[in-house]
Structure 1
Amino acid sequence: MLEALSYEFMQNALIAGMLVSLISGIIGSLIVANRMVFLAGGIAHAAYGGIGIAIFTGIPIFLGTSLFAVAAALFMAFITINQRENIDVFIGLTWAVGMAVGIILVDLTPGYNVDLLSYLFGSILAVNRDDLYFMGLLFVVILFVITFWYRDILAVSYDSEYAALSGINVKFFYTLILVLSALTVVIAIKVVGLILVIALLSIPVYIAQKLSSSLYSMMLISGIIASVFTLIGLLLSYSFNITSGASIILVSALSLMLFMLFTKLR
């Protein structure tokens, strides 16, 4: 593994893995605390529509996917904030329509032979410097949001009724969390793909939740755990020449099972 770090693409993959892991730890904690896992899953699959739009129009993949994912997040926030009883219907609708739009636009793109697996299961070794700049910028934005509005986000995440009575704009923070989740999904697609992204956002958080006593510590611990999973997954991927995204998720799942077994025995 050490000799592989002499290659630029491996250096980029390592940096990307660490950035995405830390971001996933923070946003994944908010998703779990706000019970938005299924919502995030809907956004993740709907994001494929953005991939199709980017390929069809020729704009950068990250840009097209980010815009479409944010639009999907805003739509879900607008629909579900006051209609929680129909949330499953709208998530399924957004999920299906987004993927259908992406598939059709890819089919209509003349002369384009797309490697669907790279988007479905990730292609971390294809990360370039521009991708890293985008990930780094998103990490800085998320740190700023969490630092500046931590108490408000904490109140909204655990007791939205109390937060509303306290004068906190619950709708704004609900929408903000969904938008940040959408952008996190976009960058995580590069690492583990849109099919596996929810596992990266939830498995480390589940373990961290059992080891932490506050939202802040849960974010920190889950980010560290996700980084360890990513490092081990990359090592296995390089050693056995297997898909990196699937390797990271299998390491995460196996670690979760061992953690649950240890907890039960203890």
Structure 2
Amino acid sequence: MDLLELLQYTFFRHALLGSLFASIACGIIGTYIVTRRLVFISGGITHASFGGIGLGLYAGIPPLLSAALFAVLSAFGVEWLSKRKDMREDSAIAVFWTAGMAVGIIFSFLAPGFTPDLSAFLFGNILTITPADIILLALLSILLILFFTFFLNPIVCIAFDREFARSQRLPVALFEYMLMMFIALTIVSCLRMVGIVLAISLLTLPQMTANLFTHSFKRIIWSSVAIGYASCLGGLLLSYKLQVPSGAAIIFFSILIYTFCKIGKSMYLCKQKKTNQTNGHGN
């Protein structure tokens, strides 16, 4: 079965739309994460969101809604604790990371009735994405596009040099809390696609690949969106052909893209170096 035949299925069209909006959201906020070196913090928020899923299942409210609330509060908690003199940033992250996972596991098992399939939240399955999930991702993408369009200069300033941003009298703390909120919401929005375990990869691998070829913040965003969507498409096809979980296939494909680009760049630089040396000896 080829791609055109797959497009006849509603679940596959939903997966393509969800992938597009997830690539836009992750491409934008992921560039800030990689530039600010917040990968470990994002990992903490991702795992802390599992606490919200457990509480949601226990209380009988939509798990993604409670996960979003839990993730945002955890993001604010990490940001607040890491600013204190008596707590190191990695310790603050570890507190929320482990607490979130513990709360999530305890409450998901205490939830009345049949214990749900937790692997769906841990590893994701983009083929189960619903129209409501797509609308959520679309709204988040629009919000991120608007926020980064209007405030790109302050965001870039804060991402590269917070002290300089403060000297320019920018509301650094406000921007940092807003961006942490967007990180948390993006992570939760992608849970259905790639799950808790793999969400962080979608926020970092496309940006790392783009960073091989450019150091411009804007170009990294655009390239990350394109690379992220290519990873999703490749992962979906790989998942269908091999009959493996789609979330893992998407991340595996993005790693392949990064590896291919990294090797390609290294070979190109070696070739350039040899050419320059040959020209130098010729002169």
TM-score, shorter chain, exceeding 0.5: yes
Q: Deviations over 1:113-166 (max 9, x none)?
A: 211111111111111111111111111111111011111101100111110000
How far off its partner does 1:210 sit?
A: 2.1
CA separation of 1:9 and 1:87: change in aligned 2, threshold 3 A: same
SS at match of 1:168: coil
Q: 1:239 aligns with which of 235, 241, 244?
A: 241
Are positions 1:42 and 2:47 aligned together? no
Aligned to 1:169: 171
Aligned to 1:9: 11
Pairs aligned (count): 266
Are positions 1:67 and 2:69 aligned together? yes
Q: 1:131 aligns with which of 125, 133, 143?
A: 133
Q: Deviations over 1:62-96 (max 9, x none)?
A: 21111111111111111113449601111011000
In 1, Cα distance between equivalents of 2:81 and 2:129: 34
Partners of 2:123 and 2:247 within 8 A in 1: yes
Aligned to 2:120: 118
- TM-score of the aligned structures, taking structure 1 as reference length: 0.97
Q: 1:88 aligns with which of 64, 87, 90?
A: 90
In 2, Cα distance between equivalents of 1:82 and 1:176: 19
Q: Deviations over 1:196-230 (max 9, x none)?
A: 11111111101111222421111111111000010
In 1, Cα distance between equivalents of 2:188 and 2:174: 21
Are positions 1:256 and 2:258 aligned together? yes
In 1, Cα distance between equivalents of 2:85 and 2:32: 20
Q: Aligned-pair RMSD on alpha carbons?
A: 1.3
In 1, Cα distance between equivalents of 2:259 and 2:218: 24
Structure with greater contact order relative to length (CA < 8 Å, sep ≥ 6): 1
In 2, Cα distance between equivalents of 1:221 and 1:108: 44
Partners of 2:126 and 2:194 within 8 A in 1: yes
Structure with larger Rg: 2
Are positions 1:55 and 2:57 aligned together? yes
Aligned to 1:222: 224
20-29 or 1-10: bigger deviation: 1-10
Please tell me the residue identity of whatever aligns with 1:227: Y
Identity of aligned residues (%): 36
- TM-score of the aligned structures, taking structure 2 as reference length: 0.91
CA separation of 1:9 and 1:83: change in aligned 2, threshold 3 A: farther
